[in-house]
A and B are shown apart, each in its own frame.
Chain A
Amino acid sequence: MGVALAVAPLVLPSFFLQLLTEIAIIGLFATAFNLLMGFGGMVSFGHAAYFALGAYTAALLVKRAGVPLLAALAAAPLVAAAGALLFGFFIVRLSHTYFAMLSLAFAQIVFTVIFKWKALTGGDDGLLDVWPPTFLKSPAAYYYFTLVIVGLCILALHAIVDSPFGYALKAVRENPRRARYIGIDVRRHQLAAFVISGAFSGVAGSLFAFYNGSVFPDFAYFTKSFEPLVVALLGGVQSFFGPLAGAFGFKILEWLISRQWPVYWPLVLGGIVVVVIVVLPSGFVGLVGGRRWRRQPAVKA
């Protein structure tokens, strides 16, 4: 797998390299999201907010302040994490349905602020010409660059899931009350997971900003929050690598369908969700493993 990804630029035309770059970015976004959903049992409907915070932070720093790319990329997760800390402080106080709805509400605030604050963010027009420096401009160079950063982030997330913190988080998901009895501070763990997840979503957003060359308020819109959810559902939320596999399936499907019938893409996207939920609750990866939603403890990937 690693070798195949490494030699890909030698054999594939640049279009597919861009597709792979997008897959890596959304794979990271969905994996970060799934730290909450799969391992923490918390479904956020507003993760686009942290993706957008990362994207806008990086784009604004490079464009308005002339900060070098790497520094901008480093700042993005910090701002996203700060946003996640601020909102998460309130969100983790609620459970299940209310959790999802409040996260959606905060994301709508972020969207509105970006949309209305024309002087800073460009409003509806977005920020254009946000390109990386010349040595990263070719699709192959940016592909390698993305692959390295996404790879490092995935390793870090995997280490987090595998750490005592990760196991405590799973305990909170399975039974918050019992977790509290054995001395786990439930809210603090949930908030920490929320902030970590937001920070990595911010990394994904900043990588996407330079890949895309521009940022738009849509990045924070609720349909964007839907993407990591669908990707994670497609790949299976119970496994760590499920969302990465889901990202492959998702992007390739999107490419196949929106090339021919762009109008139908949201229909297919929504249709997939409906079908997966009604028919295949553990995602397509679950088809192979035969695991059921929330019935068995998460298995180490």
Chain B
Amino acid sequence: MSGLSVGMLLFLVSVGMSLIFGVTRIVNLAHGAFYMVGAYLMVTLVELLPDRPWAFWVALLLAPVGVAVLGGVVEVGLLRLIYRRDPLLQLILTFGLILVIGTLVLLVWGPDNKSVPRPDALAGSVKIFGQPFPSYYLLVLVLAPLVAVALWLLFYRTRWGMLVRAATVDREMLGALGVNVAALYTQVFVFGSWLAGFGGALAAPTVAVALGMDGDVLTTAFVVVVIGGLGSFAGSFIGALLVGLLQSFGILIFPAVSIVLLFALMAVVLIVRPWGLLGRPDA
């Protein structure tokens, strides 16, 4: 069960990464940093807002918006300048952003670990199959699939979603048809950042909010999107569930090597189907 909720949080982060890749062809290595910023913003907002039951929910709404703004600044201020150049430069640039954002977080929030208290209504635990289960995880288990359904509706039932899907197939043709692709890039990047921020904010009460959480989530989210297929929405969902379950069972069975298990699974997928389980070749 906790494996499921870990998987759900992973899904939020990795679907954003996958979405950004699908449209802009950029693997945003700073995605984990965005997740971390989301968690830290949550810390600050919960502290700043008055101590009322609604404060947590307002913070949960606002923190991802802050990350989305950050994503917008990065896209418009930096990435837009180098879209026409070698894709590796974009990859290296987002790698550089990891260091910049990491240091800024250290300067703003300091080196100590932070924590976010769970809202009172969800502070306890419930019994499921006789096992105590933190009720906050139930919130994760409800919210993340809701987001997944909302995403599906967005991609398959709206004009914007249609444009996004079209862009993952053929960007040049979309531009030739008169769609403002540059604006679409920005929107997708901002939206993907929002998802990372939402994942971070939602995860904040379940983990120690600390420096270095960006690297952990980046590598796991990366495994998820590679297994599921970069740019594939359903692939992220399946990949996230697989990885979440594998992680929690792996820790029970082989505590020391659970992460190696993860990368081994990824290596196997890459060797058998380099474009991922549900991705398309030629990515």
Contact = CB atoms under 8 A, between A and B. Distances in A.
A266 B82 CA distance: 23
Nearest to A229: B92
Contact of B97 (A90, A97, A274, A294): A274
A178 to B, nearest CB: 19
Interface in A59-107: 90, 93-94, 96-98, 100-102, 104-106
A263 B100 contact: no
Contacts of A97: 27, 87-88, 91, 283
A221 B95 CA distance: 13
Interface in A112-140: 112-113, 116-117
B93 A273 contact: yes
Interface string B79-100: 0011001111101110111111
A267 B99 contact: yes
The B interface is mostly helix, strand or loop, or mixed, namely helix
B82 A270 contact: no
A266 B87 contact: no
A281 B263 CA distance: 33
B270 A270 contact: no
A291 to B, nearest CB: 14
Contacts of B215: 221-222
Interface stretch (B102-110, B130-138, B148-156, B196-204): B102-110
A87 to B, nearest CB: 9
A269 interface: yes
A98 B270 contact: yes
Name the residue among A112, A271, A294 with the largest chain B CB count within 10 angstroms.
A112
A277 B82 CA distance: 8
A285 B87 CA distance: 22
Contacts of B39: none
B219 interface: yes
A233 interface: yes
Interface in B238-268: 256-257, 259-260, 263, 266-267
A274 B100 contact: yes
A108 interface: yes
Interface residues of B, number: 39
A293 interface: yes
Contacts of A106: 263, 267
Interface string A19-50: 00000000000000000000000010100000
B82 A263 contact: no
Contact of A109 (B97, B106, B107, B259): B259
A226 interface: yes
A293 B85 contact: yes
Contacts of B259: 108-109, 112
Nearest to B271: A90
Nearest to B225: A101
Contact of B270 (A94, A117, A267, A274): A94
A267 B222 contact: no
A278 interface: yes
Interface string A264-301: 10110111111001100100000000000110000000
A93 B82 CA distance: 27
A270 B256 CA distance: 32
Interface of B: 27, 78, 81-82, 85-89, 91-93, 95-100, 102-104, 106-107, 215, 219, 222-223, 226, 256-257, 259-260, 263, 266-267, 270-271, 274, 283
7 contacts: A98-B274, A108-B219, A221-B215, A226-B99, A267-B100, A273-B92, A277-B89
Given A43-B92, A226-B99, 17 more contacts: A93-B274, A96-B87, A97-B283, A101-B226, A104-B219, A105-B226, A105-B263, A106-B263, A112-B259, A113-B260, A229-B92, A233-B92, A264-B103, A266-B100, A270-B97, A273-B96, A293-B85
